[in-house]
Chains A and B, each alone.
Chain A
């Protein structure tokens, strides 16, 4: 392949090829290859999903009421979001309406997931792209304390506290057993934080690790466990009993108090640790505004958190829904997941086969026949790939398009969509505007790696607020005597139509998520998922259009060609989830060679 232009990017794969495989600190397995020009600027990017599990064929013939448990196992990081999408799809197909309390409890669980997922992403998957752990050893604990106290009222901020952390870190580094920090890119010039900010961030890395396990207890209370809480078609499985005999075996006042206390602690941690850290780190990197990719052009969001039970229209959704194309920010297009012209998946560069690969297929008509072939310019062999040939098929991820456009999904899409609709989403608008002011950057700065990372944090601040509001709504219902949590009118398959199909959607933490289900004779006949990392991480399509990951790496200078710090930083800003993106599988793809057991 030679040089060509697409979506405003000039792709040129003639320079030095750099391969990063595995891309770590993500969910699942991913590879990326880039070409650097003589100035170490990325001029070509190739993103590859390197795993594939085949859940959709496994679902065929199953009881649709069980589907949530299967698809929940698509991902244990965004745990629950696929399950929620699934019960919504089945309820849509069977016209099941859920009680208000069930809607609120589902919202609480989904919001809780956002808060947990975003926090863990920021501190444990993403922070090390911005924070140099080893540099923290050079920090002055007293100055660190001054810094921490200048940005937040969080009580763990004394000089002695930071000195203790630093001493532990020192002993750790001196031991020579660096564990997860081994072979990191410490000292790379792309790290910009002063030692004090690094030390503060290391302290919060550890605090967040302790705290995240508290957040998920909301899932445990309503769903019995986390990861992978339990869900129910028609409502939620937990019954409410406030004062009768046996209330101890149901959601009662003690349980509700526990939920409330966790919500309050989440608010505290997000407001006093996460957001101040985000803005502090952002202030040192605001000159590094690479990584925008297609975000300034095409954004997509399905919306989520229905404030009115069973109403999934824009009137009800507390997270915005819509599509922006060609950078026209003044026009938000409506999105219809049933329209065969809108969401389509392409496989010209994916390891699948279509009868006609110049055409895309809507998920209701989805075909997924595996076809693991490598192009003629591949270096290495079929089972020992050195360099991929992006002129041919090169990923286990399909390339979804909205009306033919590659789209970016995720927190940035949602926050931009909310920011642009201040009347409908005043809180989102306020949060975004506040951050832009605080960092003293223009709106355009949002369309960058840093903007994506900031949007995730701002969204978390919005979610803790929504979590409190939804909890208050639940309490109001309970005060009014409404204890219902499940609608069982259509629980028995005998009550179902012979054939039905439905769509369920959520906004997963990583972006727009849709499930399409067809039910025949009480069994699943077809099940298709199009997930956020399919949108963001997908390969080129038949026209050569690149996906959001690939676009985001373009034209970024790299400080050291052999240390992929900037590449990781930008990819991580999407919070990639590869197990999600690459689970699709056809019923017909059984003729495959296999390796011998043992």
Chain B
């Protein structure tokens, strides 16, 4: 089972030729020139698997559960062949001091060369003792383990933003990882939980290209969190046409109309659900009739009821990303919906006239 990355690819039906092509593309995209391709190929054929230490703070283990749902690559191949999951208290055979000894061993042996994956977050109230591990506050274990890491992945809404235990009034002072750990690259992979293939996609990207993916201002990989649910929603046509579900199980619900009026947070949520969907592409929340609850957004628990209509829609258009939205001045609440509807109508009119559909975006930001 200790195959190299190359062997895994081969076993999954990738030919040697494709592998070498992949290496030369990688070399080019890294700006190393084609001469570096053989070196990359050699590294992937021989290098040992990168150790991953997966820590758990205050959490519900939904991120681990999501991770093992990955369809491509399969979890067993990730865990047994692509990386070395040396510590993960949810899955590991050892317990107690035999488990904790692994942390010290990996830290020493792979100093600067291991990845820490954090699920959950540290509580800071009560001297950190709302989460006790090995008799000590989790926050200390987190700090010590991250100290010699190459990079840190913050899994899910807990590690990235705080999630449910940090919802008001945040009684334990549950704190996102990036507010406790500094001086290390941290990749936020929000969602409650994140999509399985997003999780394995982030990890395998890092192992394959030996770098962290391009991140937005909130530390999220742009490749998965660059667009809103609404931008890619298959029900967007109904939104544009003004066809909405108005009540649960009404005619509109049965026809798969837009869930905007039922409180869908798709218009303000950056995630890949509407493109990648869930559990091997079987469905996703909107497809199954419930609006998006915005679980990959910072503080989504404290933005009113999940059934309140989103009233602060500003920019629309597929190429608007979190950064441009962030830069936009706070829009007028309420009036924005009308503006959005008007803009959509305008966009439709212009499309008819042969204009670009993206005309709507700037209009929407007013």
A residues adjacent to B (C-beta < 8 A): 19-29, 31, 50-55, 57-58, 63, 65-66, 69-70, 73-77, 79, 120, 124-125, 128, 133, 168-169, 171-172, 174-175, 177-185, 206, 209-210, 212-213, 216-217, 219-230, 232, 234-235, 237-241, 244-250, 258, 370, 372, 380, 382-386, 396, 483-486, 488, 491, 563-564, 568, 579, 585, 589-590, 592-598
Contacts and interface: CB of A to CB of B under 8 A. Distances in A.
Contact of A372 (B51, B74, B126, B288): B126
Nearest 10 A-B pairs (CB), nearest first?
A: A249-B256, A76-B62, A246-B255, A175-B2, A172-B1, A184-B93, A224-B285, A224-B288, A230-B290, A385-B135
Given A180-B88, A228-B192, A50 B254 contact: no
B7 to A, nearest CB: 9
A435 B200 CA distance: 40
B41 interface: no
Contacts of A182: 86, 92-94, 102
Contact of B165 (A55, A77, A177, A184): A55
A179 B257 contact: no
B137 to A, nearest CB: 6
Contact of B93 (A66, A133, A385, A585): A133
B131 A185 contact: no
B209 interface: no
Interface in B284-308: 284-290, 293, 295, 301, 305-307
- The winner among A58, A63, A209, A227 for most chain B CB atoms within 10 A is A227
Nearest to B262: A237
Given A22-B134, A171-B1, 19 more contacts: A29-B56, A29-B89, A29-B133, A53-B58, A53-B130, A73-B192, A79-B62, A171-B2, A210-B74, A217-B282, A220-B278, A220-B284, A225-B284, A237-B289, A239-B254, A240-B254, A241-B255, A250-B255, A594-B125
A533 to B, nearest CB: 13
B180 to A, nearest CB: 6
Interface in B74-90: 74-76, 79-80, 84-86, 88-90
A177 B132 CA distance: 28
Given A79-B65, A213-B70, A590-B171, A224 B283 contact: yes
A380 B129 CA distance: 14
Given A50-B131, A53-B172, A249 B2 contact: no
Interface of B: 1-3, 48-49, 51, 56, 58-66, 68-71, 74-76, 79-80, 84-86, 88-96, 98-102, 123-140, 163-165, 167-175, 179-180, 182, 192-193, 196, 235, 247-249, 253-257, 273, 278-280, 282-290, 293, 295, 301, 305-307
A244 B253 CA distance: 12
Contacts of B128: 383, 594-595
A108 B248 CA distance: 20
23 contacts: A22-B89, A24-B89, A24-B91, A28-B56, A65-B306, A74-B60, A75-B60, A172-B80, A177-B86, A184-B93, A224-B286, A226-B278, A237-B248, A239-B248, A239-B289, A241-B255, A244-B254, A246-B257, A249-B255, A488-B249, A568-B95, A592-B125, A594-B127
